[in-house]
Structure 1
Amino acid sequence: MNPYRDLPAEQFWRKAVAGVPPFAVDPGPRDAFRIARTDRVATAGSCFAQRVSQALARGGFRYHVTEGAPEGMGEAEASARQYGTFSARYGNLYGPRQFVQLFDRAFGAFDPQLKAWQREDGRFVDPFRPTIEPDGFADAAAVIEAREGHLARVRTLFESLDVLVVTLGLTEGWRCRADGAALSLAPGVAGGQFDPHEVAFVNAGTAEVIADMTGFLDRLWSVNAGARVILTVSPVPLIATYRNQHVLVANAHSKAVLRAAAGELCEGGDPRLVYFPSYEIITSHTNGGRYYEEDQRSIAEAGVAHVMRAFMASFSPASAETPVSHAVQASEAEFAGTAGVVCDEETIERSLV
């Protein structure tokens, strides 16, 4: 007896990929938990996580924000200061170590020695979210005061969310040699001064990513046992690599590590954790590269629309667009205006000008 004979169509390339229009390929999980309209859905991670949060809000879901803009602040200023960009103002969390340490900082288990960076203009920024205040802070004390309020909102977020969408972005990063504090950017890019005696470049391997994410999930479930987590890998390539190799090769390595780690984590059998293939939908050759803009890095609106159609079909089937043929026409209007995604990593290039 052929063991493949009775497998479902989605497990065959010819039936599920080659025999389906590119915009209709849907590799999303079908046995995952469901998201209700009343569920508090939070997002955290790399730049692509912002596209997910924008689409969720537009789709009528309850996008959970615990650190909103102060009353009376205009929309433009709130956006510039990253209120609502993520569920709290933690900025981009590119690697798993940042997730673990954010939790530990929020709950008082880790207090990094590094407190503030000074910029060239004399203003100060928070080293762990250096772009959230475009005008910076007047002094280091102001940075610390703002951080304490922020971390209180992070605690509230972790304790109150129902669903957390985590987007893993990078394996490359920088850490303080003194205590291992993980940074989203190297000093000297958006503040501070680069000193190789104070910071070390790190490229996390699969085992480390798994250990860090396991640690984060255990911490999250210790304060919120019912929290459900959707784990994704960002399809946005590295903007630069510090490794001595071509950025294309470094990017392939980084994404492969994250994808392998995410797969192992989600095969553990915990029904509260599921992998969603936004990375595969965007990067698949079946779409002929149409889901990237001309810079081959930014995600096109059609790609975001495809991801969110599959997302809805997996986690909220009643909300999924049908028939599929209508999705292409709807995507341009539905996802228009999602410019303004904040990607701290892009500061690397801007700092070189």
Structure 2
Amino acid sequence: MKIEYDAGTALSIMRGNPVRGWMSGKADHQAKERLTTGAYLQVEHKPKFQIDPSWPIFTMGSCFAREVENVLMMRGLPLLLKGHGVPAEHFETWNETTQRGGGAAGGEVSRGALNKYSVRSMTHELKRVLLNETYPNEGLIELAPDQWFDPHASGLKLLDKETALANRKRLTAATARIKEARICFFTLGLTETWLDSETGIAMNMHPGPAWLARMPERFRFVDYGFQATLDDMLASIALIREHCHPEMRFIVTVSPVPLGATFKDTDVIVANSASKSLLRTVTEELYRRFDYIDYFPSYEIVLNSPRALAFQEDQLHVARDMVATVMETFEASYLGASSAAKDSATLAA
């Protein structure tokens, strides 16, 4: 969807925008200056709408979504996925990332299994919950005798069928809480996707290179393009507004967490740039089309902050302080007016 103005309107908008220039305008507003302070990037964000602090929030997306959840919970906002997840001992590897997904040792649960990386896998999970789509064995894949893989989960090891089905029930119940939401926060992760040819499921994760090699006819690699990805997002948003709150509002962003590896014949840095650029274009199109969809620039804030501050040592996962900084911008943008109104009411009382 194109944006078009007459020259007078365009000039008026430009002149009224204090952060319009790369090297023009007030020094502290110039992009050049903000990008070279050596500190976290400060971005001015003008939201389309405000969030009422009482609105239940549903989050979906990559591991960056889990980081967002942690901050939302610390702020006391009603996060619908709080308390949901899978027992920590069911993960392939127990590490800090798993723990930060909401779990800890000793039988607690982690939300890390809820990570959704590709848009197509998000669409399938929503159809499972909102359209009651069913799959043989709930979509689980038996890779070895009584060793079951859940292609819609993230990071889980192979488990016996009973345990795997119990986890699938937990994850489906977590996703079903979207029906109670008033606002959805989606972080889009990547375009590279794996399909299970037998069930037609777009897998959230493949079972590993060894299993791909053993079952080459069952699993297929697809790198979805712009139109397919946009169509999936449009279908998911329409589905949610039909089966959940009819006035659901959405905040979309692109995860700054890069591809861990690519299956295309190109440098992973180039492949990651292509994937993120496509997803950013999809979110821009959604932002332009609908007044109930807003784009939040967490991707730009992280990617344009110094890498030493923005990322952990692995240069893959976003540092905690960086997430906190991003969410400060989020709160100031979407909760500022509500908080101010609440404070005024308290003073008046």
TM-score by length of 2: 0.77
Aligned match of 2:141: 117
Q: Alpha-carbon deviation of 1:57? A: 1.1
- Following the alignment from structure 2 to structure 1, what is the Cα–Cα distance between the partners of residues 318 and 250? 23
Aligned match of 2:311: 292
Aligned match of 1:245: 266
Match status 1:307 vs 2:326: yes
Aligned match of 1:205: 225
- Following the alignment from structure 2 to structure 1, what is the Cα–Cα distance between the partners of residues 210 and 239? 30
1:12-51 paired onto structure 2 within 5 Å = 12-14=21-23, 15-20=29-34, 21=37, 23=39, 25-51=41-67
Match status 1:138 vs 2:160: yes
- Following the alignment from structure 1 to structure 2, what is the Cα–Cα distance between the partners of residues 195 and 128? 18
- Following the alignment from structure 2 to structure 1, what is the Cα–Cα distance between the partners of residues 30 and 144? 54
- Following the alignment from structure 2 to structure 1, what is the Cα–Cα distance between the partners of residues 210 and 216? 16
Match status 1:106 vs 2:129: yes
Q: Supply the AA of the counterpart residue of 2:15.
A: D
Q: Supply the AA of the counterpart residue of 2:11.
A: P
- The answer as to whether partners of 2:103 and 2:111 remain within 8 angstroms in 1 is no
Q: Where does the alignment leave 5 or more consecutive residues of structure 2 unmatched?
A: 1-7, 24-28, 87-98, 340-349
Superposed CA offset, 1:165-192 (max 9, x none): 1111110010122443111221336978
- The answer as to whether partners of 1:117 and 1:192 remain within 8 angstroms in 2 is no
More helix by share: 2
Q: Alpha-carbon deviation of 1:100? A: 1.3
- The answer as to whether partners of 1:125 and 1:131 remain within 8 angstroms in 2 is no
Aligned match of 1:282: 302
Q: Kindly report the root-mean-square deviation, in angstroms, between the aligned alpha carbons of the 2 structures.
A: 3.3
Q: Select 1:257's aligned residue among 272, 278, 298.
A: 278
Match status 1:214 vs 2:234: yes
Q: Alpha-carbon deviation of 1:150? A: 4.0
SS at match of 2:19: helix
Q: Where does the alignment leave 5 or more consecutive residues of structure 1 unmatched?
A: 71-75, 321-353
Q: Alpha-carbon deviation of 1:126? A: 2.1
Q: Supply the AA of the counterpart residue of 1:256.
A: S
1:213-232 paired onto structure 2 within 5 Å = 213-223=233-243, 224-232=245-253
Aligned match of 1:85: 111
Aligned match of 1:58: 74
- The answer as to whether partners of 1:266 and 1:274 remain within 8 angstroms in 2 is yes
- The answer as to whether partners of 2:52 and 2:338 remain within 8 angstroms in 1 is no
SS at match of 2:11: coil
Q: Alpha-carbon deviation of 1:124? A: 2.6
- The answer as to whether partners of 2:81 and 2:174 remain within 8 angstroms in 1 is no
Q: How many residues align?
A: 309
- The answer as to whether partners of 1:34 and 1:315 remain within 8 angstroms in 2 is yes
Q: Alpha-carbon deviation of 1:24? A: 6.3
SS at match of 2:52: coil
- Following the alignment from structure 1 to structure 2, what is the Cα–Cα distance between the partners of residues 190 and 48? 27
- Following the alignment from structure 2 to structure 1, what is the Cα–Cα distance between the partners of residues 109 and 142? 22
Distance 1:95 1:130, change over 3 A: closer
Q: Supply the AA of the counterpart residue of 2:140.
A: A
- Following the alignment from structure 2 to structure 1, what is the Cα–Cα distance between the partners of residues 277 and 208? 28
- The answer as to whether partners of 1:120 and 1:191 remain within 8 angstroms in 2 is no
TM-score by length of 1: 0.76
Q: Select 1:170's aligned residue among 185, 190, 200.
A: 190
Aligned match of 1:267: 288
- Following the alignment from structure 1 to structure 2, what is the Cα–Cα distance between the partners of residues 121 and 109? 28
- Following the alignment from structure 2 to structure 1, what is the Cα–Cα distance between the partners of residues 80 and 240? 16
- Following the alignment from structure 1 to structure 2, what is the Cα–Cα distance between the partners of residues 83 and 191? 27
Match status 1:96 vs 2:119: yes
Q: Supply the AA of the counterpart residue of 1:62.
A: P
- The answer as to whether partners of 1:16 and 1:25 remain within 8 angstroms in 2 is no
Q: Alpha-carbon deviation of 1:280? A: 0.5
- Following the alignment from structure 2 to structure 1, what is the Cα–Cα distance between the partners of residues 223 and 118? 10
SS at match of 1:3: helix
Using the aligned pairs only, state the percent identity: 26
- The answer as to whether partners of 1:127 and 1:183 remain within 8 angstroms in 2 is yes
SS at match of 1:106: helix
